[in-house]
C-alpha cells in the first residue's frame, strides 16, 4: 500500500496508538488532529523546572502488550518507575492513613474495624452474585462491606476515575475484581489461585512515566515513519460511499476516500460526526456522560511542608468533605519534576463527586486546596509556583448498564464496514487500556486488509489459471 488506506481522527493516545500499531505492521496511516499539538488530553509542560502533566501522570501496567509497545518504540531506557517502597495514603478522620497493601499491614490498619477485617479475611466464604448488573457500590458493599467502600473504593473511584461508585457499572470499572468473583466465586480465592497456584502476575503491576514525562510517549509514537500527521485539521463531515468512507476536513482541501476510518475523538464529537450517517449509533455514543476536572499544580519549597512526603500522594473520601479528590506528590513519585529543594503537588478538583467545583476560579481553587493541605501535611506559607489545567470533559463515566451500551455500539458498528470507534469511552480510560485497545483495533484492520489482499491474490491466480488454460 502506498497511499494510506486508514485515516485516524484524533491524535490523543487512543488514535496515536492505533496508528502506531498499524504502522508497526507496515500499514501506512494518516492522522488528522484538530488541535495544533498532539496527545489530546496528555501533555507535559515544563515551567522553569516544574514539570506538570495536564492529564495522565503515570502508566500503571500489567499487560505484556504494553511492555512490547514500550520496547519496540525504543522507550525502555527512558522509563521512570514509581518507587516500590512509596506509601499510598487516604484521608481518614481528618488525617493521612496508610493504605494497607499487604495482609500483615491490614491487621494493624486503623482504617477498618475488627469486624470489617474479619469480613475481608472470610470473603472467600461468600456466595457468588446472581445479579446480571451491579453498581460499584453494590458489588463492593456486598463483598467487602460499607467501611471498605467508603474509605477505600469510593476515594479510588472518585480520585482516579472522577466517577461515582453509586452510578458506575462494576463490570466496566472493576473488570478484574468482578471477573475473579465470576470465575472463582470470590476475589480472595481468585487472587490466591492465580498467584500461588497458576503463578500468574495477577495484581502485580508496574507504575511508570518517562524521563520527559508522558509527552515523551506521545512524541515517540507519533514519529513512526509510516504515520502521516496533520494538525489543525478537523474532520467536518463523513459519509459511506462505494464501499469506503469519504472524509472531509476543514484544513484546506482535505478530502479522502479510505477503506478504514478510525474515530478517536471524545464521544460528543464522534456523535456529531456520526449523526448524518447513523443517528442510532450517534445517540448511543452521544448519551455517554463525562465528568469535568480541574488540575491544580502547586510548587513549594521543601521546608514549607512538615510531612515526609514518603508516598505517591493521597486520596480523599467523600465523607471527609475536602476541596479535592486526590493529591499526587509528583516530585516524590518521579525525580526531577521540581527544581532542586522544591516539591510539586498536583490536586484534582471536581469530577462526578463535585462537578460544580469545575466553575471555581483560580483564587478559589488555590485558597481551598492550600487550606486543606495545611491541615493534612503541615503546609506553611504560599506556593511559589501555580498552574491550572481545566478539562470540561475530563473522563467518560461508565454509568448505568454500560455493558449493554457497549454491546449495542459494537452491534451497530457491525453494519458499517471499515468504521472503528477507538476512544476512552470504549474499553477503559487508562493509558494502558488505550494502547491495548489501539492494538486490538489495528489487528482487526490488518486482518481485513490481509483478507482483501488474499482475495485479490486469489482472483489474480484465477485469471492466471484461465489465461494458461486458454494458451
Ligand X SMILES: Cc1cc2nc3c(=O)[nH]c(=O)nc-3n(C[C@H](O)[C@H](O)[C@H](O)COP(=O)(O)OP(=O)(O)OC[C@H]3O[C@@H](n4cnc5c(N)ncnc54)[C@H](O)[C@@H]3O)c2cc1C
Residues making contact with ligand X (CB under 6 A):
9-15, 32-35, 40-42, 55-59, 234-235, 264-266, 269, 293, 295, 391, 394-395, 423-424, 429-432, 434
Cα–Cα–Cα angle for 153, 159, 161, rounded to 5 degrees: 90
**Minimum CB distance to ligand X smaller for 233 or for 377:** 233
Rounded to the nearest whole angstrom, what is the least distance from the CB of residue 214 to ligand X in the complex?
A: 8
**Minimum CB distance to ligand X smaller for 158 or for 395:** 395
Rounded to the nearest whole angstrom, what is the least distance from the CB of residue 239 to ligand X in the complex?
A: 15
Rounded to the nearest whole angstrom, what is the least distance from the CB of residue 439 to ligand X in the complex?
A: 14
Annotate 356-367 with three-state secondary structure: HHHHCCHHHHHH
Cα–Cα–Cα angle for 370, 376, 378, rounded to 5 degrees: 75
Rounded to the nearest whole angstrom, what is the least distance from the CB of residue 436 to ligand X in the complex?
A: 11
**Minimum CB distance to ligand X smaller for 144 or for 425:** 425
Q: Which position has the grid cell 495477577? A: 202
Residue partners of 139: CB distance under 8 A and separation at least 6: 129, 170, 174, 177, 178, 181
Residue partners of 464: CB distance under 8 A and separation at least 6: none
Rounded to the nearest whole angstrom, what is the least distance from the CB of residue 15 to ligand X in the complex?
A: 6
What are the angstrom distances between the C-alpha of 392 and each of 294, 349, 359, 465? Answer: 8, 12, 10, 61
**Minimum CB distance to ligand X smaller for 181 or for 433:** 433
Rounded to the nearest whole angstrom, what is the least distance from the CB of residue 397 to ligand X in the complex?
A: 12
Residue partners of 456: CB distance under 8 A and separation at least 6: none
Q: What region does 381 belong to: left with phi over 0, alpha with psi -120 to 50, or beta?
A: left
Rounded to the nearest whole angstrom, what is the least distance from the CB of residue 393 to ligand X in the complex?
A: 8
What are the angstrom distances between the C-alpha of 424 and each of 13, 285, 352? Answer: 9, 12, 17
Say whether 422 sits in a helix, a strand or coil.
Answer: coil
Nearest-angstrom CA–CA distance, 219 and 216: 5
**Minimum CB distance to ligand X smaller for 369 or for 431:** 431
- 359: closest CA among 296, 289, 288, 293? 293
Rounded to the nearest whole angstrom, what is the least distance from the CB of residue 283 to ligand X in the complex?
A: 18
**Minimum CB distance to ligand X smaller for 143 or for 434:** 434
**Minimum CB distance to ligand X smaller for 374 or for 390:** 390
Rounded to the nearest whole angstrom, what is the least distance from the CB of residue 312 to ligand X in the complex?
A: 11
Rounded to the nearest whole angstrom, what is the least distance from the CB of residue 348 to ligand X in the complex?
A: 6
CA 258 from chain centre, in angstroms, equals 28
To the nearest 10 degrees (0 to 180), the angle between helices 136-143 and 175-184 is 50
- 34: closest CA among 13, 9, 56? 9
**Minimum CB distance to ligand X smaller for 63 or for 195:** 63
**Minimum CB distance to ligand X smaller for 231 or for 304:** 231
**Minimum CB distance to ligand X smaller for 157 or for 188:** 157
Contact 167, 400 (CB under 8 A): yes
Amino acid at each position: 500500500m502506498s497511499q494510506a488506506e486508514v485515516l485516524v481522527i484524533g491524535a490523543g493516545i487512543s488514535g496515536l496508538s492505533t496508528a502506531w500499531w498499524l504502522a508497526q505492521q507496515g500499514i501506512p496511516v494518516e492522522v488528522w488532529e484538530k488541535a495544533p499539538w498532539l496527545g489530546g488530553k496528555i501533555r507535559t509542560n515544563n515551567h522553569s523546572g516544574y514539570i506538570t502533566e495536564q492529564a495522565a501522570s503515570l502508566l500503571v501496567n500489567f499487560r505484556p502488550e504494553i511492555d512490547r509497545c514500550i520496547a519496540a518504540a525504543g522507550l525502555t531506557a527512558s522509563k521512570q518507575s514509581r518507587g516500590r517502597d512509596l506509601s499510598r495514603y487516604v484521608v481518614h478522620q481528618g488525617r493521612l492513613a496508610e493504605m494497607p497493601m499487604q495482609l500483615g499491614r491490614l491487621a494493624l490498619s486503623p482504617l477498618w474495624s475488627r469486624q470489617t477485617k474479619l469480613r475481608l479475611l472470610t470473603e472467600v466464604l461468600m456466595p457468588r452474585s446472581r445479579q446480571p448488573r451491579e453498581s460499584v457500590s453494590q458489588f463492593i458493599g456486598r463483598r467487602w462491606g460499607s467501611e471498605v467502600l467508603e474509605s477505600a473504593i469510593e476515594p479510588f473511584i472518585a480520585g482516579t476515575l472522577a466517577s461515582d461508585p453509586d452510578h458506575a457499572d462494576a463490570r466496566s470499572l472493576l473488570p478484574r475484581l468482578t471477573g475473579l468473583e465470576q470465575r472463582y466465586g470470590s476475589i480472595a480465592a481468585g487472587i490466591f489461585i492465580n498467584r500461588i497456584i497458576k503463578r500468574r502476575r495477577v495484581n502485580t503491576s508496574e507504575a511508570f512515566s518517562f524521563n520527559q514525562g508522558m509527552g515523551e510517549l506521545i512524541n515517540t509514537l507519533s514519529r513512526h515513519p509510516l504515520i502521516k500527521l496533520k494538525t489543525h485539521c478537523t474532520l467536518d463531515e463523513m459519509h459511506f460511499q462505494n464501499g469506503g468512507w469519504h472524509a472531509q476536513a476543514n484544513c484546506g482541501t482535505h478530502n479522502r476516500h479510505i477503506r478504514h476510518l478510525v474515530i478517536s475523538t471524545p464521544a460528543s464529537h464522534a456523535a456529531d460526526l456520526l449523526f448524518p450517517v447513523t443517528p442510532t449509533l450517534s445517540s448511543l455514543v452521544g448519551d455517554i456522560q463525562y465528568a469535568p476536572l480541574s488540575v491544580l499544580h502547586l510548587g513549594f519549597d521543601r521546608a514549607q511542608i512538615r510531612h515526609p512526603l514518603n508516598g505517591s500522594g493521597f486520596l480523599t473520601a467523600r465523607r471527609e468533605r475536602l476541596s479535592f479528590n486526590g493529591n499526587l506528590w509528583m516530585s516524590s513519585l518521579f525525580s526531577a519534576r521540581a527544581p532542586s529543594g522544591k516539591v510539586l503537588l498536583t490536586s484534582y478538583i471536581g469530577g462526578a463527586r463535585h462537578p460544580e467545583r469545575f466553575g471555581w476560579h483560580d483564587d478559589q481553587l488555590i485558597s481551598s486546596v492550600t487550606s486543606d493541605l495545611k491541615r493534612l501535611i503541615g503546609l506553611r506559607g504560599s506556593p511559589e509556583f501555580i498552574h491550572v489545567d481545566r478539562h470540561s470533559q475530563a473522563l467518560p463515566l461508565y454509568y448505568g448498564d454500560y455493558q449493554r451500551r457497549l454491546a449495542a455500539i459494537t452491534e451497530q458498528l457491525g453494519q458499517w464496514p471499515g468504521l472503528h470507534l477507538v476512544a476512552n469511552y470504549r474499553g477503559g480510560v487508562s493509558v494502558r487500556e488505550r494502547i491495548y485497545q489501539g492494538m486490538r483495533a489495528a489487528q482487526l484492520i490488518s486482518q481485513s486488509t490481509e483478507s482483501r489482499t488474499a482475495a485479490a491474490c486469489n482472483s489474480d491466480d484465477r485469471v492466471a489459471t484461465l489465461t494458461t488454460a486458454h494458451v
